[in-house]
């Protein structure tokens, strides 16, 4: 394998591990707070974790509140797309926000989008910790503003 191929494999392995951590943690959170989860939430959680973790990898100058807001937007977008697929198109009824105010098609809602700000914060910290402990990456310095 050439150096470039090895680097690509290394990056893919790192992101696979981060994906698995995010998917596992999110399914665990669902078990704790909802008492159940669905295998698709592992995929959704893994994708959200990867994208939230990349926020301060691409823009190291971004403040925590900016990362939280962008993370919430990312999570809400992934939730809407996956909800349209698994709930509306496939009819699996994994979740339904129809009874919650300010919802869109029962797949996303403002109260949960606000909650995703906190989940994004946890994902940002956990991603940085995993990168530091497992991959020996530099641990970032945070600033709220």
Domain ranges of the chain: 3-135
Quote the CA–CA distance of 49 and 96 in Å, as a whole number.
22
pLDDT of 7 higher than 90: no
Task: Give the confidence band of 6 by pLDDT, cuts at 50, 70, 90.
Answer: low
The predicted-structure confidence for 62-115, as pLDDT tens digits, reads as follows: 999 999 999 999 999 999 999 999 999 999 999 999 999 999 999 999 999 999
How many CB atoms neighbour CB 67 within 10 A?
21
- Rounded to two decimals, what is the model's pTM? 0.91
- Specify the pLDDT at position 2: 67
Q: What pairs with residue 104 in β-bridges? A: 108
């Amino acid at each position: 394998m050439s150096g470039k191929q090895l680097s690509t494999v290394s990056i893919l392995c790192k992101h696979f591990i981060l994906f698995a951590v995010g998917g596992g943690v999110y399914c665990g959170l669902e078990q704790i707070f909802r008492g159940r989860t669905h295998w698709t939430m592992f995929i959704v959680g893994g994708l959200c974790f990867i994208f939230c973790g990349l926020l301060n990898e691409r823009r190291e100058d971004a403040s925590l509140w900016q990362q939280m807001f962008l993370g919430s937007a990312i999570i809400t977008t992934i939730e809407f797309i996956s909800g349209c697929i698994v709930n509306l198109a496939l009819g699996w009824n994994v979740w339904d926000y129809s009874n919650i105010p300010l919802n869109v098609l029962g797949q996303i809602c403002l109260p949960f989008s606000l909650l995703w700000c906190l989940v994004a914060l946890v994902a940002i910290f956990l991603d940085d910790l995993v990168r530091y402990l497992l991959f020996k990456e530099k641990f970032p310095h945070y600033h709220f503003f």
